[in-house]
Amino acid sequence: MCRGPQNGRQKNTVLVAFRISESQNLRISESQNLRISESQNFRISESQNLRISESQNLRISESQNLRISESQNLRISESQNLRISESQNLRISESQNLRISESQNLRISESQNLRISESQNLRISESQNLRISESQNLRISESQNLRISESQNLRISESQNLRISESQNLRISESQNLRISESQILSNF
């Protein structure tokens, strides 16, 4: 964990590379705050499991790169905040499962690209809000299923790219909010 000064603005740019490889398990539980800021690289590779549970806040800001590769499972549960804003790229490829459940909101605005390819499951059910506005591209190809259930809210704004490919499992459940801001790249290779 790299933190800036508590008081005042951080002056020096910090480049930090977090790499977790070869079947590790990263678990953060019980009201933690994980913040990575100013051009960090967070990489998890080779069948890791990233689980964040019980009211955590995962915030990645200012040009970070979050990469999860080779059959990882990203699970965020119990009142997390997932927000993606300002020219982020979210890429999940080849037979992923994107599940967002229990009081989320899915909103895609301002020239986003939503691409889901190669046997995904996209489902939206039970009083969800799906909003795509201002020249977005929504592409779902090759037998996908998009399922989002129980009043979710998914918001992606300001020229994001949402791509889902390559056999990942993205599950967000129980009123989470995922926030990633200021030109982040979230990709699964």
pLDDT at 142: 35
Adjacent-strand bridge partners of 71 = none
pLDDT at 134: 38
pLDDT at 38: 41
Taking only the tens place, the pLDDT of each residue in 112-163 is 444 444 334 444 433 334 444 433 444 443 333 333 333 333 333 333 333 3
Does any domain span residue 78?
yes
pLDDT at 62: 39
Contact 100, 154 (CB under 8 A): yes
Count: domains in the chain: 1
pLDDT at 117: 40
Q: How far is CA 23 from CA 46, 49, 70, 72, 186, in A?
A: 6, 8, 10, 9, 20
Q: What would the mean pLDDT of 81-92 be, rounded to a whole number?
A: 39
Adjacent-strand bridge partners of 187 = 67, 91
The highest-confidence range among 66-75, 159-168, 180-189, by mean pLDDT, is 66-75
Q: What would the mean pLDDT of 13-41 be, rounded to a whole number?
A: 44
Does any domain span residue 22?
no
Does any domain span residue 45?
no
pLDDT tier at 48, thresholds 50, 70, 90: very low
pLDDT at 174: 33
pLDDT at 175: 34
Structural domain harbouring 142: 51-188
